[in-house]
Structure 1
Amino acid sequence: MKIIKGTVDSKIVKLSRPDAIKYIRNKETLGIIGGEFAITYDEDDLPITTLLGSCVAVMLYDAALQVKGMNHFLLPTSCAQGTSCRFGLYAMEAMLNEMYKLGCRKENISAKIAGGANILHDLSDSIGERNVLFARQFCRSEGIRIVAENVLGSNGRVVMLDRDFQTIAKTIANRSMDEKLAQADRALARAVNKTESAPAESGVTLF
């Protein structure tokens, strides 16, 4: 088994077995949290999963090598230009670079985008929307084709990236989980202002 993981503290580690197991539909998956990314081969049959509120996950897939990657970033960029996968720019560049090292080629890579919900309905400046716009703009500037999206809305979601670029998004309908995501979004809102001045399911979407 071959797993490459980018960590919150900007380290790149190679794993021979998962370090964070989540179970979706009784299937063992590799779970990532905000500020991380993971890359796996289809042949290892290890999906990647994450839980998103206003954060965004960009999933990349090289159809020729059957290599898939997913990141989970909290904000588009850092004013301090920090090298952390918490920020979309670094998360995208770091994940792409690791895929290129495996032999992936840009012309064989396609993308899917998930997340960016407005959990805090009173926010006029939606962090989620900004994250989605960044993900779209980055992919287009790099010439990476976006083939599907499951984004925005007012609910969080669990996302699973499986082999052959099969992707499932499960909408969250759980008050306690909604509140946890809302608390995280409030913290994000404070961070934005500072720098610039398993859950229940209500729906399953294949995308």
Structure 2
Amino acid sequence: MDYAKMPAREIERLARNVHPGAWTIDSSQPLATLLGSCVAVCLYDPLLRVGGINHFMLPDLARSRHGDVDSLLSGNFAMEALLNALLGKGAKKVRLQAKAFGGGTIIDTDGGSLSIGMRNANFAKEWLERESIPLTSSDFLGPWSRKIIFLPTTGDAFCKRMVTNMATAEVIAREEKAYAQTLLQKPAATDKKIELF
């Protein structure tokens, strides 16, 4: 399908949504995410024409007593997972290009939102520099939430800044907090035994 000839609203309608703590690669369908203080990084191999996106809430998280499920929200896990998935599809690290977005201040009730967004943005830039992956475009910080649409086959990314009203801020904060809460719940006990071999 030629998304280049479609209006942005139609591309957005067809996009697969990527939630906080998630990452995905695709070679055909547009990918989208909604960001507040979180950051999304898009990686793309122009020769193979495959790319992916992640969405992380914090640069890193310590392992909890419930195991490593909390790592899903961290930038260090999200970046490694996305990179390894693309390499698994045949992408070459030397060809990868990046676009990154987010780190906005949407709610500042405790004075900490700005520092979280800035820490996320700084982490993304530092990680890409350390891995020698060029950051070809970015849109970080500011008082906005952002809607990101990424086309994995072309590497094109669209960023729509949204003035954050209380309704938008509450939706983003609720989604981020709901996901974070799932990490605090102790996994259900099971009678099944796992045998390693």
Range into which the TM-score falls when normalised by the shorter chain: 0.7 to 0.9
Please state whether the residue corresponding to 2:15 is helix, strand or coil. strand
Q: Which residue of 1 aligns with 2:48?
A: 65
Equivalent of residue 167 in structure 1, options 144, 157, 163: 157
Q: Over aligned residues, Cα RMSD in angstroms?
A: 2.4
Q: Greater relative contact order (Cα 8 A, min sep 6): structure 1 or 2? A: 2
Match of residue 26 from structure 1? 10
User: Equivalent of 2:97, from 96, 110, 127?
Assistant: 110
1:56 is matched with: 39
How far off is 1:179 after superposition? 2.5
From the CA coordinates, give the structure whose radius of gyration is larger.
2
Report the count of equivalent residues: 165
Query: What is the CA–CA distance in structure 2 between the aligned matches of 1:182 and 1:95, rounded to whole Å?
Result: 24
Of stretches 175-184 and 128-137 in structure 1, the one that deviates more from structure 2 is: 175-184
Task: Work out whether residues 112 and 148 of structure 1, in 8 Å CA contact, stay in contact via their aligned partners in 2.
Answer: yes
1:79 to 52, 55, 62: 62
More helix by share: 2
Counterpart selection for 2:128 from 139, 147, 164: 139
Deviations 1:24-79 (A, max 9, x none): 612311111001111011xx2x1100000000000000011000110001111012
Per-residue deviation at 1:166? 1.2
Q: Is 2:34–2:172's contact at 8 Å kept on the other side of the alignment?
A: no
Structure 2 length as normaliser, TM-score?
Answer: 0.75
Q: Percent identity?
A: 34
CA deviation string 1:133-186 (max 9, x = no partner):
11011111111111110111111010000241111111223431123334567x
Runs of 4+ in 1 over 4 A off after TM superposition: 182-185
Question: 1:152 maps to what in 2?
Answer: 141
